[in-house]
Amino acid sequence: MAQDRFQLDLCSGPVFRRVIQFAIPLILTNVLQILFHTTDLVVVGQFSTHESLAAIGCTGSLFNLFMNMVIGISIGANVLSARYFGAKGPENIRKTLHTSVAFAALGGIGLSIVTFFAAEPLLKLMDTPPEILPRSCLYLRITFLALPFLMLYNFGCSIFRAAGDTKRPFLFLAAGGTVNVLLNLFFVIVCGLDVMGVAIATAVSHVISAGLILWTMIRTKSDLHLDIRHLRIDTRCLLSMLRIGVPAGVQGCCFALSNMVIQSSINSFGSYAMAGMTAGGGVEALLYSSQVAFHFTAISFVAQNMGGKHFKRVRTSMISCYVYEAAFSLILAYIFYFFGEPLLRLYDPDPHVIEWGLLRMKIMFTTYFLLGLMDAATGCLRGLGASLMAAAFTLSGACALRLVWVWFILPHYRSMECLLISYPVSWGLVALMATTAVILIYRKMVREQCARFVEWSTHGPGVPKGFRFPGGPR
């Protein structure tokens, strides 16, 4: 199989060092996405009206619904491609690559058309104030037109991650994001385009990032080569991708919906509480974008080594992702909590707002390692191919539990502390269930492989070529 200098071979070399090499560009990519989005809001907040800022802000939860679905389905392409890269199957890699790109393009166009016309009804369903509805609708429609490029970038990133390359997706995002910031300043300050200018800048940045991904695939001589003439959807390949990706996408959408319900409970505590929770959530978004990188690292490492039947490396990869995920979550969360007050002042200097924000950080940041363990466990499950199980655990242990908490427990112990405690409780529960499943699935996989080894050695003509014993090569 042909590789280039950007790709890491996840099936060889020291696992703990490979994991951190793979994860660091992912961390930088996620942090950049948050910073670029924050820049959009800062430019509008500084050089436009507060109504325009509110118009963009109220579209976030709706856009995230579709974004979570896109990212979730792209995980299917990640897992499937990683399996084939590990198994050294270039023909299957090409099928997955061309199916992913074709599906992203066609699915993006279809989704873009539907969401363009559904934007206004959905915003009205969310009780968007009439005075900002036209601007919110305009912003959403322009950004929804760029959904095909957003899907192409995310599916392309999934394929690159499967091949062990997280550096180029980071560089492509940095290029698109830099153009986004410059165009924001130009369109809003020089041209006075307000919300339209920010939306156009965001759409252009998606086009640039996706264009760089496709251009690289077309020009490369490695197994990531894309031949436009061979673009078609392989039905079996697509069904395999969707079997893994759809549960992850549905899970992301349900997470967004459950958080919207919790947000409505937060709103009942008044404007200072809302502002404090928003400020704390802004800091948390930066923290989460750093630690969630190990979730995607676990998916690629476990899937690729599963494909190559490197069972010992599967186990080592899972352990290393657990260790890094928990350590990063614990250390970063306490650093952020220690500097909580100055960080919250960047959002709002009001002492009442800071007080509410610090309350959120005290409860959630000191238990953030539980979220790290949950993400590591669900990432390992998806890498093992148990995506539906990962989604079921998350939906029942996190989303459903939080809704039950809001409806039945909060009314009896009405306080912000009681509401926020639902987060670490749900993280811990999902982490426990998913980790138990990871152990059982891995042990079953090893037992089945050992049984095949015994059968071959007893009745067959020796060990087949390419067979790897669960404890390592023999």
Per domain, the residue ranges of the chain are 13-244, 268-462
pLDDT at residue 282 tops 90: no
Is the model's pLDDT at 456 over the cut of 70? Answer: no
Report percent pLDDT > 90 for the chain: 41
pLDDT in tens, 312-327: 899 999 999 999 999 9
pLDDT(469) > 50 = no
Which pLDDT belongs to residue 334? 92
Residue 254: closest CA among 392, 421, 146:
392
Can you tell me the distance from the alpha carbon of 437 to that of 394, in angstroms, rounded to the nearest whole number? 13
Half-sphere exposure of 266 toward its Cβ, with a 13 Å CA cutoff? 23
Q: Residues 91-96: what's their mean pLDDT?
A: 90
CA distances from 199 to 40, 47, 116, 140, 245 (A): 9, 15, 13, 8, 28
Mean predicted lDDT score pLDDT of the chain = 85
How is residue 232 written in tokens?
Answer: 């078609």
What value does the mean pLDDT take over residues 23-32? Answer: 88
pLDDT score recorded for residue 460: 52
Write out pLDDT tens, residues 174-211: 999 899 989 988 998 888 888 899 899 999 999 999 99
Residue 442 half-sphere exposure toward CB, CA atoms < 13 A:
26
State the pLDDT at residue 472. Answer: 43
- Report the distance separating Cα 199 and Cα 210, nearest Å: 17
pLDDT digits (tens, 9 = 90+) for 347-396: 778 888 889 889 999 999 999 999 999 999 999 999 998 888 998 998 88
Q: Would you call 453 helix, strand, or coil by DSSP?
A: helix
The predicted pLDDT at position 457 comes to 52
State the pLDDT at residue 48.
74
> Distance between CA 102 and CA 85 in Å, rounded?
20
Q: How many helices (H) and strands (E) does the chain have?
A: 18, 0
Average pLDDT over residues 21-47: 81
Residue 464 has pLDDT above 60, yes or no: no
For residue 428, what pLDDT is reported? 94
pLDDT for the residue 474: 33
94 with 229: CB under 8 angstroms?
no
- Taking residues 88-98, report their average pLDDT: 89
- Tell me the sheet residues that pair with 469: 472
pLDDT, average across residues 335-357: 86
Q: Write the single-letter amino acid at 142.
A: I
Encode pLDDT of 150-160 as tens digits: 999 999 999 99
Task: Convert the pLDDT of each residue in 396-413 to its tens digit.
Answer: 887 888 888 988 998 888
| Segment among 1-10, 137-146, 334-343 with least mean pLDDT | 1-10
- Which of 102-116, 255-269, 381-395 is the most confident on average? 102-116
Position 466 pLDDT exceeds 60: no
pTM for the predicted model, two decimal places = 0.84
**Contact 61/362 with Cβ under 8 angstroms?**
no
How confident is residue 216, by pLDDT bands cut at 50, 70 and 90?
very high
Q: Residue 290: pLDDT above 90?
A: no
Q: With 70 as the cut, is the pLDDT of residue 130 above it?
A: yes
Instruction: Look up residue 163 and give its amino acid.
Output: A
Q: Does residue 473 surpass a pLDDT of 50? A: no
Q: Is the pLDDT of residue 3 over 70?
A: no
Q: Mean pLDDT over residues 273-286, rounded?
A: 79
Look at residue 1 and tell me whether its pLDDT is greater than 70: no
DSSP state string for 202-240: HHHHHHHHHHHHHHHHHH--STT---GGG----HHHHHH
Is the model's pLDDT at 253 over the cut of 70? yes
Give phi and psi for 322, each to the nearest 5.
Answer: -60, -45
